[in-house]
Amino acid sequence: MKYIRRKFRDAKLRHKILLTFFIIGIIPMLVLGEYSYSAVRELLVKQEKSNMSDYLTQAIMSADNQIQIYNNLSEYISYNDTIAQVLTYDYKNYYEMYEQYTKVLDPLLSSVKYFNHGVKQLTVYTGNPGIAKHDVTIAPIQEIAEEKWYPLVEKSDSRFINWVVDPKNRKVFSVRNMPAIRNSGSSGILYIEVDYDKLFESFEEMSGNQYGIYIVDENDFTIYQMTSYDTSRELHPLAIADIRNQKAVCDDYTIVDGSMVTGWKVWFYKTNREIRSSVIPLIVAILVVTALCITFSVIATTVLSKVMVNDIEKLTENMKAVESGNMEILVTSDAADEVGNLIRGFGNMINRINQLINEVYKGKISQKESEMKALQAQINPHFLYNSLSLINWKALETEQKDISRLTLLLSTFYRTALNRGRNILSIRDEISNMNSYLEIQLMIHDYAFTVVREIDEDILEYQTLNLILQPLVENAIEHGIDPDEEGKGVITIQGRKDGNHILLSVKDNGIGMDEETAATILTARSKGYGVRNVNERIMLYYGESYHLTVESMPRKGTVITIRIPQIRM
């Protein structure tokens, strides 16, 4: 034993690898191959039958999921009070009816079909005699009175969804009464036709070829059948009657399962001969792969030591190249041993060095680009101011005082708005910015509203964020004042101290809003962005204890108040 250990220790590394691999690799592989040939065949047959059951379960679940989606869609439409109101309303004229169709029903039903590509037709049949037919979405209930399924649907419970399949015409649809319309004292039936092929497509790619599928409804009527038999192999599909009566030959393997949603029963059959033949290629492949692995392993083991030595030599050459200034990686390795880890570690180190070099270089480029952008930011405002100044002088030359005044107001607004790129300015400048904006809006609206300013002088030298009053004034003008309302609109801007805080508010006497709308104006659900943006900026800069408050009542007007700390400029 000592002699063997000494010989093994003194042998070349290549010979050690060959001997070790033969002992712990090839011999167990031969034994495993012999055992696998006899055991795997029966195991694969059992697995194939188990897979068939899984294929069937998955196919049924896929179809059930689609049907459940359509059922949920049916529930949503059938209990939709908006649809019921549109279809049961007593319209004064067709234009009023058409307006409701286009503004309410069409967007709602179109979005339903858009997000459910399997829906081919969606129609609501109504018993309201005052409702006119509209495209294929709205129709009188008389159009389906002669259908075979109509009496069944008419007598069924409002909560029950009836699925009807016409395999001859490859049509499948659900029909049901609409509870929302029935609760309104009328009648309505929802018809949803879905893609027949898409609904049953999960049964068409279940288990390769040479199998058959029958689907029957609760009345034992065949609603779908599919066979995937290659007639050139003299195998023919079984009749559904033979499967039901168990008259098929004993060589056939049949699975039956049912849908939990519709109650349909699914028959899945395949011959045992095909089951066994389907695993033969895998067994042959295992044997071929085993033989190839043994052959490849012998060859690979023979050259393994040489490859390992070559990798080490290449790594040494690569290190010398890096020492001479060449930073390219000349050798790589996918090996999981110490040599492979060493090569990859060296490569990662060189890549990291190159990355740091590139980051320093790109950082200098980014710095230059930032300097250029800063220069542009200085140039562009000057160009704007010079242009407005030129317009002002041209207006004065032609005695266009309104144009001159508007130009000066616009120049003042943008000068305070840009604020030389700073986010902080005095309340005095913010009031000036707001006044310029208000004067422009008054000219635009032909002085259709009145502005009242109640600003305490002792708050003007305190600081505030830039552009926080203008969005509130714009909101009051655009959404607060109702031009159709009798009397003149009034916008009141107030500013005062409140303890250690400053309160700035914008008030209008306009249309106002209800509590629910007022509660959402500062949230992400709000359609407007300006007021919400002001609130988020104040909270980010001063903290969450500082924010906007909205007080409003319908027909009474709205007050939006800003609360900020007292900080002198």
Instruction: Using the predicted structure, report yes or no on whether residue 459 has a pLDDT greater than 70.
Output: yes
Give the total residue count for the chain.
569
DSSP letters for 494-537 = EEEEETTEEEEEEEE-S----HHHHHHTTSTT-S--HHHHHHHH
Cα torsion 102, 105, 111, 117: sign: negative
Residue 279: the pLDDT is 63
Cα torsion 211, 217, 220, 224: sign: negative
DSSP letters for 230-284 = -GGGT--PPPHHHHHTT-S-TTEEEEEEE-TTT--EEEEEEEHHHHHHHHHHHHH
**C-alpha–C-alpha distance, residues 177 and 149, integer Å:** 12
Instruction: Using the predicted structure, report yes or no on whether residue 559 has a pLDDT greater than 90.
Output: yes
List all residues 6 or more positions away from 277 whose beta carbon is below 8 Å from its beta carbon.
Answer: none
Residue 373: the pLDDT is 46
Q: Which amino acid is at 98?
A: Y
Residue 269: the pLDDT is 77
Contact status, residue 475 vs residue 530, Cβ threshold 8 Å = yes
CA distances from residue 453 to 281, 435, 468, 495 in whole angstroms, order as listed: 90, 10, 16, 9
Residue 458: the pLDDT is 93
Residue 541: the pLDDT is 83
pLDDT tens per residue, range 248-286:
444 566 778 888 888 888 888 776 666 666 667 767 777
Among the residue ranges 134-143, 156-165, 220-229, the one predicted with the least confidence is: 220-229
Residue 558: the pLDDT is 92
Instruction: Using the predicted structure, report yes or no on whether residue 114 has a pLDDT greater than 60.
Output: yes
Q: Whole-number mean pLDDT of the chain?
A: 77
Per the listing, tokens 């090996």 go with 335
Q: Which position has the higher pLDDT, 472 or 230? A: 472
Instruction: Using the predicted structure, report yes or no on whether residue 451 has a pLDDT greater than 70.
Output: yes
Instruction: Using the predicted structure, report yes or no on whether residue 562 has a pLDDT greater than 90.
Output: yes
Contact status, residue 180 vs residue 80, Cβ threshold 8 Å = yes
Starting at the edge strand found earlier in the chain, the sheet holding 171-177 runs 138-140, 119-126, 188-194, 171-177, 162-166
The stretch 123-138 carries a mean pLDDT of: 88
Among the residue ranges 13-17, 59-63, 178-182, 433-437, the one predicted with the least confidence is: 13-17
pLDDT tens per residue, range 284-336:
777 787 778 778 777 777 776 666 666 666 767 777 777 776 766 666 777 66
Backbone torsions φ then ψ of 98, nearest 5 degrees: -65, -35
Instruction: Using the predicted structure, report yes or no on whether residue 180 has a pLDDT greater than 70.
Output: yes
Among the residue ranges 127-136, 344-353, 366-375, 470-479, the one predicted with the least confidence is: 366-375
Question: pTM for this structure?
Answer: 0.44
Residue 375: the pLDDT is 40
pLDDT tens per residue, range 15-41:
666 677 777 767 777 777 677 766 776
List all residues 6 or more positions away from 308 whose beta carbon is below 8 Å from its beta carbon.
Answer: 13, 335, 337, 339
Residue 308: the pLDDT is 63
pLDDT tens per residue, range 355-408:
776 666 555 545 444 443 444 444 455 545 555 555 656 556 676 666 666 666
**C-alpha–C-alpha distance, residues 216 and 121, integer Å:** 24
**C-alpha–C-alpha distance, residues 463 and 461, integer Å:** 7
Instruction: Using the predicted structure, report yes or no on whether residue 421 has a pLDDT greater than 90.
Output: no
Residue 265: the pLDDT is 87
